[in-house]
Amino acid sequence: MQCPLCSSDAGTRPHLTVSDYVYVACNACGAVRLEPFPQPDHAAQLYGDEYFTAAAHGGYADYVADAAIHRRNGRARLRKLGPIPHPGAVLVDIGCAYGFTLVEAAAAGWVPLGVDVNVAARAAVESSGFRAAPTLAALDLEPGSVSAITFFQVLEHLPDPVGALREAAGLLAPGGRVLIETWDRRSFVARMMKEKWQQATPPSVLWLFDEDDVRHMCSASGLQLQRWQHSVKWVSVGLVAGQLGNRGSRPGRAVGTRLQKVALPYPLGDLVTARAAKL
């Protein structure tokens, strides 16, 4: 198949083998993707309710139970986006889940909108008073009407991340910003852990990015990468334990519920934030 990032048919080489899946690197651009690569509708089906309640496909044991932590992370992410350009500026959070970042965006003065494929998550967003849709196109926004679009740990799950960024750029006003949170395959912990790296989670994680990949995707979408920085976020012990349990760890299965709300910083250097602006 052609590389979904650079459209080259130069072939691939193995990068990591995880269970029955292989992550392969494009011989032309070096981008690392999952093989076999899913169809878009199959990829979207991975994010049903069990992704948020049963740690399915590398998801969450109880996403809503960590609401306070998600809101704390949301505030930190919004600070990296920078100041609001004007009153009533629109922000779209793609992959908004249950809308905790939208709540923080509204408190900071943005007019926030959400996009998520999960029906229950959208219902929760709407019950909080915000608009939500299954796709960006379904929000029916005018080109140039949006000041900021965020992808927090989303692009690596999308079959066509360049297409998603290009669609976002088309809605941004001149100088509008895109904020991307993702994981760095060239980080020390990723290189050390190899196939045991926590982000190598097929079939939900389709891409293992690095800075060059993100820079290329932004450039191909009419965006200019302005900043690439390693980030720290907060996670609950319950989330970590649930994911360990999902990988077969007995201690992980045992402590997940009891310690769900205990927050710890995640400072391992493989989480990154990229900020880009519309050219």
Q: Can you give the CATH number for the domain in which 175 is found?
A: 3.40.50.150
Question: Is residue 4 assigned to a domain?
Answer: no
Question: For 177-215, how does the pLDDT look when each residue is reduced to its tens digit (9 = 90+)?
Answer: 999 999 999 999 999 999 999 999 999 999 999 999 999
- Once rounded to an integer, what is the mean pLDDT over residues 135-143? 98
Is 50 exceeded by the pLDDT of residue 253? Answer: no
Question: Is residue 7 assigned to a domain?
Answer: no
Domain count, the chain: 1
Q: Are residues 88 and 111 in contact, defined by beta-carbon separation less than 8 angstroms?
A: yes
CA distance 147 to 241: 37
Domain encompassing residue 184: 12-278
Give me the percent of the chain exceeding a pLDDT of 90.
77
User: Residue for token digits 């809605």?
Assistant: 171
Question: Is residue 207 assigned to a domain?
Answer: yes
Within 10 angstroms of residue 111's Cβ, the number of other Cβ atoms is 18
Give me the percent of the chain exceeding a pLDDT of 70.
92
- Once rounded to an integer, what is the mean pLDDT over residues 51-55? 83
SS3 226: strand
Within 10 angstroms of residue 36's Cβ, the number of other Cβ atoms is 12
Mean pLDDT over the full length of the chain:
91
Question: Is residue 6 assigned to a domain?
Answer: no
Q: Which of 62-71, 162-171, 248-257 has the lowest mean pLDDT?
A: 248-257
Q: Are residues 90 and 143 in contact, defined by beta-carbon separation less than 8 angstroms?
A: no
pTM assigned to the model: 0.92
Task: Quote the pLDDT of residue 248.
Answer: 52
Q: Which residues contact 216 (CB under 8 A, 6 or more apart)?
A: 5, 6, 29, 31
